[in-house]
Structure 1
Amino acid sequence: MKKLIPLAAATALLLTACGNGNYAATQIPAKETPPTTSTTPAAPRPCADGQSALASYAPDAETPAPGGAMPAGSWMAKIKERGRLIAGVSADSFNLGYRDPITGKIQGFDIDMIQAVAKGIFPDADTNPNRVELRVISSPARIPSLRDTKNPVDIVARNMTINCDRWNDIAFSAEYYRSGQKTLVQSDNPAKSTADLSGQTVCAPAGSTSLTNLKEKNPKVKAVTADTDTGCLVMFQQGKAQGISGDDTVLAGDVAQDPYAKVLPERFSDEPYGLGISLTHPEFVKFVNVVLQQMKDDGRWKTSYDKWFALALGKAPVPPVAVYGRVPVHG
């Protein structure tokens, strides 16, 4: 079936524009849908060092309360002295981190996590947009942006899966969302699962676990890449790819932008999201973990989920349970 590129594709192209943006709240009305599964972590495969990939650094007596004074010499104190939190984010992942084509502001579930961290350091972050610098990065740039020796970001919130290999290069917060990989195809594609896509071209973002999982699930798929989620969507809409494989959160946004697409029901991975932080700032990781736990406990996590995901993914699941016990190798 030859299809016209819908208006949503043009909008999606606008979302790929680079630049900085500030958080802005918008309201997407949600309707009641069947509940999703719980995101309580399953027992993960241990890393080579014997630690769980999901294990982060546990807050301790020296970890300050959000909104309070930041300990001298801590990375939080340096951020406060600078006057803003610098975050690496997406501007093209609909409902996760995307640029509103009308207001120009970057918003979404991941951006809510960043805003909460910023408010924990700057109590006026809700009213002062200059407290957060949102630096738009691609999927392959997530880890390098944290390890940059000249102009690094403080934190990355870009639907990044926690795994053992990445712990060698960066640190992660406790899990803040449990996603899973699925595959999107044209609405008239008879495929029922990824196994049915042998010989077909399927796009996944470069440098992502989605690309690795796709190749492992069906080595006969012709895997192609793009630097961004929207890049895959554009390839799909131009007929250069017959499918897109990625996190269900991202694919839900793609379907919202393309009426000719559908998501196959098969889910073939667990993708636990963590906020990426430099290994050299374990005290910042612990502080972020306190912020995330407060969000889960006081209802802000559910409020954010309901705003961005409930319409497409159903009723809010139980927030992911934090796993601690990792010993910092720096600091």
Structure 2
Amino acid sequence: MRRLVPALALLACVACAPVPSGAPPIGDVSAVVPRPVDATELTGPLPSAVPNTPSAVPDPACAANPTASRRPTGPPPAPDAMPAGSTMATIRDKGRVVVGVDQNAYLMGFRDPVSGELEGFDIDMAREIAKALFGDPTRIQFRVVSSEQRIPALRQGDVDIVVRTMTINCDRWAQVDFSTVYYQADQRVLVPISSSAAGIDALGGKRVCASKGSSSLANIAAHPAKPIPVSVPYWSDCLVLLQQGQVDAISTDNPILAGLVAQDPFTRIVGEPFAAEPYGMAFPQGHEDFVRFVNAVLERLRADGTWASIHRRWLGAPPAPPTPSYRD
């Protein structure tokens, strides 16, 4: 207390000191709430998801069943029996599989703050692919990518596969290949618990946040209620904007929203699903053997209970795994 009294006296003297000439009145000083880097309120049409290149022309036949993938030729071969010259043999020769993942989507793909390790549903699914290739789930190199970076990373050869809450659709099929559906998500809305909004229909003219390059952002922009899309690089940025009152809601897939609620109990998910979001693992085009191999691995994970076990660990009681659909 004896040490505190002089300090309080000093503060009192400072408070009583005259205000320098030209200084703004104390009541006029206000804090500026920072925004995440690259947060953008979108007032015009979104850029096309399909580049104007001959190799990225949407396939009209895709509309019949966008989730149909390449049929496995049989059970996946053993790690030491990959066909010579196959994509799988090439990956084995590297000694690791390079996987594009998220580190900002709690429960799906996130970095544990204590261990520093990547964890989540998508991370465990990626490790199963490494295990099928090498017999060792640790023979994997994770490369963190944003939603917007997923397709460029594949097309530029920076990764062998992307396992990152990536919705299968025909625009994306024009640029990359997909596995069968490994998780069936649906798009909903997250609001503060104090909000009266009951779903996307109540958010006309309101700012709704989603990750840049995500199908969620496109669905917000196309909704008849005409919400104002706000794009950010990562889902954690959306949560920051919501907590600071700079957006009115977040809208994306239910497992991502569940992770945000787990981080902030003063939020809640509202409304019925308004868009289906089937997740697939994505590949560079021209590696059909690897697509068929991964689909065979997914068949096994569904059948032997591994998929259900991973779901239970991260997302709770599992539903039936998604039924695969094949085009050939």
Shorter-chain TM-score: which interval? 0.7 to 0.9
Say which of 134, 139, 144 aligns to 1:136.
Answer: 144
The 3 A distance-change label for structure 1 pair 242 and 66 is: farther
CA contact (8 A) 1:210 1:245 kept: yes
Equivalent in the alignment of 1:321: 323
Kindly state the Cα deviation for residue 240 of structure 1 after the two structures are TM-superposed: 1.3
Distance change in 2, residues 1:187/1:66 (3 Å): farther
Indicate whether 1:195 and 2:193 are aligned. no
Deviation (angstroms), 1:67: 3.3
User: Deviations 1:272-310 (Å, cap 9, x if unpaired)?
Assistant: 000001111100000000111100000000000001001
Which letter does structure 2 place at the counterpart of 1:57? R
Please, what TM-score do these two structures have when normalized by structure 1? 0.79
Q: Distance in 2 between matches of 1:271 and 1:322?
A: 15
Residues of 2 paired with 1:266 and 1:57: CA distance? 32
Distance in 2, matches of 1:293 and 1:132, equals 21
In structure 1, C-alpha distance between the alignment counterparts of 2:226 and 2:82, rounded to whole Å: 53
2:132 to 96, 120, 130: 120
* Structure 1 residue aligned with 2:180: 174
Secondary structure of 1:145's partner? Answer: helix
User: Structure 1 or 2: larger strand share?
Assistant: 2
- Letter matched to residue 58 of structure 1: R
For 2:100, give the aligned amino acid: G
Match of 1:30 in 2: none
1:104 to 116, 124, 127: 116
- The residue matched to 1:264 in structure 2 has which SS? strand
CA distance in 2, matches of 1:124, 1:222: 46
Distance 1:119 1:167, change over 3 A: same
1:74 to 58, 62, 86: 86
C-alpha distance in structure 2 between counterparts of 1:168 and 1:297, whole Å:
30
Say which of 58, 67, 76 aligns to 2:71: 58
- Aligned-residue offset at 1:154: 0.3
Instruction: Provide the C-alpha distance between the structure 2 equivalents of 1:66 and 1:55, rounded to a whole number of angstroms.
Output: 25
For 1:59 and 1:198, the matched residues in 2 are separated by: 45
CA distance in 1, matches of 2:230, 2:327: 38
> Which residue is 1:235 aligned to?
241
1:93 alignment counterpart: 105
Q: Kindly state the Cα deviation for residue 103 of structure 1 after the two structures are TM-superposed.
A: 0.3
Q: Cα distance, 1:270 vs. partner?
A: 0.9
Report the AA paired with residue 116 of structure 1. Answer: E
Q: Any stretches of 5+ residues in structure 1 without a counterpart?
A: 1-12, 14-45, 327-331
Higher relative contact order at CA 8 Å, sep ≥6: structure 1 or structure 2?
Answer: 1
How many angstroms apart in 2 are the aligned matches of 1:264 and 1:124? 41
Q: Aligned partners of 2:226 and 2:88: how far apart in 1?
A: 47
Distance 1:101 1:226 in 2: 22
CA 1:226/1:235 → structure 2, altered by over 3 Å: closer, same or farther? same
Q: Does 1:155 align with 2:161?
A: yes
- Separation in 2, partners of 1:300, 1:49: 33
Pair 201,294 (structure 1): closer, same or farther in 2 beyond 3 Å: same
Q: Report deviation, 1:65.
A: 2.1
What TM-score results when the alignment is normalised by the length of structure 2?
A: 0.80
* 1:219–1:144 Cα change, 3 Å: farther
Conserved 8 A contact 2:201-2:225 = no
Deviation at 1:124, TM superposition (A): 2.7
Which residue among 303, 310, 314 is the counterpart of 1:297? 303
CA contact (8 A) 2:130 2:136 kept: no
* Amino acid corresponding to residue 153 of structure 2 in structure 1: S
Whether contact under 8 Å (1:86, 1:155) holds in the other structure is yes
Deviations 1:230-286 (A, max 9, x none): 111111112211110000000000001112111103210111000001111100000
Q: Any idea what SS the aligned residue of 2:275 has?
A: coil
Unaligned runs of 5+ in 2: 1-35, 37-57
Q: Please, which of 25, 48, 55 is the counterpart of residue 60 of structure 2?
A: 48
1:146 to 148, 154, 159: 154
Q: CA deviation at 1:64?
A: 4.2
Give how far 1:219 is off. Answer: 4.7
Match of residue 287 from structure 2: 281
Query: What amino acid does structure 1 have at the position aligned with 2:72?
Result: P
CA radius of gyration, larger in: 2
Q: Is the 8 A contact 1:66 1:291 kept in 2?
A: no
| Distance across 1 between alignment mates of 2:78 and 2:199 | 45
